[in-house]
Amino acid sequence: MPRKNKKQEDTAAGLKRSDQQNAPSAADTAKAHRQIERVQISDLQLDPQNLRKHGKRSLEAIASSLQRFGQQRQPIVTSDGVVIAGNGLVAAAESIGWTEIDIVRTTLTGEEARAYAIADNRSAEFSEWNQEELAATLRSFDAELLSFVGFTGDELDAMQFAATVEPEDDKPRFDHDAYASRVLKQIVLVYNLEQYNLIYDALADYADKHGLSDNSEVIAHLLEKNGHAVSIRVAQSD
């Protein structure tokens, strides 16, 4: 068999290195085989150990998005049909009468599956809205489209109001003279998304039960019930 000349040997070596460099990794191979399946929702099981809870408002927002925009992402499901990511999506789809849904199967099992479910939810908590740009974008939508994005008109108004509030972190807490000229005051309460959804629903239920018109009255009413005289109206409420 004739011996290859140096040019042929260099070409062969280059091709070999190129093949090695372009060889798919295990992750690439897994991704290539990750096929979207259409399944019956009745064949799926919501994760009984799901650590992420969806309140009424969360499910309503997901359902509204599905109705307007269709299904744009897929729940992640184990080989035996347990949903480890996208439980809210599946529950919302079922609530509006869907019988089928697109899913992606995962080969993760046991602790790996549990860890992924937590990581999938946790990673979303690290992102933040650009409040000014968000408010401007929401304002550009017509009323119909705005109703499908998960923000209420009151929340949009609150964003715009917050942008006009002068920072007060450097002012004494009980310096009443400093605030005497201000008619409208604001208290900012900070929660993570899960807490926010739960508290939002609880405030709405409480307001309906006691005939209160907004969240400010709910807070005042609760304080009155605990012995703090903070409102003329709530003092007369049940």
Residue 82: exposure state from Cβ atoms within 10 A (0-12, 13-18, ≥19): buried
Q: Strand, helix or coil at 142? A: coil
pLDDT score for 231: 62
Is residue 123 a contact partner of residue 93, using CB atoms and an 8 Å limit? no
Rounded to 5 degrees, φ, ψ at 125 are -75, -15
pLDDT score for 228: 83
Which alpha helices (H) appear in 23-162, and where do they start and end? 26-32, 56-69, 87-95, 110-125, 131-140, 143-146, 153-162
Task: Confirm whether pTM is higher than 0.75.
Answer: no
**Chain segment 25-66, per-residue pLDDT in tens:** 545 544 545 689 999 999 999 998 888 888 888 899 999 999
**Chain segment 92-119, per-residue pLDDT in tens:** 999 999 999 999 999 999 999 999 999 9
Domain boundaries along the sequence of the chain:
8-125, 128-164, 167-238
pLDDT score for 9: 53
Q: What is the side-by-side strand order in the sheet with 82-85? A: 36-40, 100-105, 76-77, 82-85, 45-46
Q: Does domain 8-125 have CATH number 3.40.50.720?
A: no
Q: How far is it, in rounded angstroms, from Cα 101 to Cα 44?
A: 10
Cα separation values, 36 from 72, 85, 93, 108, 174, Å: 12, 15, 17, 16, 59
Q: Which residues make Cβ contacts (< 8 Å) with residue 17, sequence separation at least 6?
A: none
pLDDT score for 95: 96
